[in-house]
Structure 1
């Protein structure tokens, strides 16, 4: 059972595949790096649904924060390096110092700030390894929604009808209930 952030960290530490992914990402020596989003959320939901096999991920998101190099080509080169280490992982690398422009949002001040502004609270989760290879978790909105199988928007997506539509379209397109039937989607009611 996952009741606390420490329970989640222990679960990750016991998952050889997740630890291999984290170690591969660490080899890049990126500033403020995290493996995040579905990588963490799907693990929680798989465990809570009692799945014996991992749900395949469309991508494994590695984020970092480097305002000194905003070139998308740098991200693609980092992906190539990760594919050379772990070719069977669907890597996606993004520098959060530039993603606010792509997503038409205010600038972020760190990777954790970017993660806090992901679309759903249950997805706003990231893992990294410290210098001693200890697993660290960032959960700007806590882990409660993820462990309670609730999908709700982060505060940013509740501030306007346009942002609410982005959230609603995303949760509709993801079709998470087809994979994890106990997940409850909260919809935004704009007045």
Structure 2
């Protein structure tokens, strides 16, 4: 399948029954500023660009939201349990971006999009959600790198050597270039 832009990616997701079921399940929680992101979208695009007939297995389904009023990690665990009760076969991971800035010692995020913009690599910094039967993409850095199979660090992980080392280690341990051989890894 040819993916050239955001609309092509949205159409590909719409046609994927499994992805739509995931998005419908997450939408039922009515979480503020909520997105299903990272590998959920990235792997779909790369699978299509590699003409794979089978979906590449995901270690988890990343659900992010933003609620600065309730930053207790236990709330995230309860939300994961709620999602598990709805779709027990899915490896859910729920994170409130209002507290995730502490992971890398950066300034607090102001939204889920801001949180995504601080993910490690550009093609991972992408989210999708179902909003009243309409698919929406959140792409802080656009889709060009994702759809060109280019992997490079987000600005946060490119500018500072300790952060860049996190990016390099992540790329080395993920082995994405073995799963998707058309990828172009940039350091």
Number of matched pairs? 186
In 1, Cα distance between equivalents of 2:83 and 2:133: 18
In 2, Cα distance between equivalents of 1:84 and 1:160: 41
The 5 Å alignment of 1:1-191 reads 1-130=2-131, 132-187=132-187
Structure 1 residue runs of 5 or longer lacking an equivalent are: none
TM-score, structure 1 length as denominator? Answer: 0.96
In 1, Cα distance between equivalents of 2:103 and 2:72: 12
In 2, Cα distance between equivalents of 1:102 and 1:116: 14
In 1, Cα distance between equivalents of 2:168 and 2:47: 23
* Corresponding residue SS for 1:6: helix
TM-score, structure 2 length as denominator? Answer: 0.98
In the TM superposition, residue 103 of structure 1 has moved relative to its aligned partner by: 2.5
In 2, Cα distance between equivalents of 1:19 and 1:28: 15
Query: Structure 1, residues 94-124: CA drift from partner, whole Å, max 9, x if none?
Result: 0000000123221100000111111111111
Query: Structure 1, residues 69-108: CA drift from partner, whole Å, max 9, x if none?
Result: 0100000000001011111111000000000012322110
In 2, Cα distance between equivalents of 1:135 and 1:58: 23
In 2, Cα distance between equivalents of 1:71 and 1:183: 37
Q: Check whether the contact 2:5–2:147 (CA below 8 A) recurs between aligned residues.
A: no
* Corresponding residue SS for 1:166: helix
In 2, Cα distance between equivalents of 1:102 and 1:181: 31
Structure 2 residue runs of 5 or longer lacking an equivalent are: none
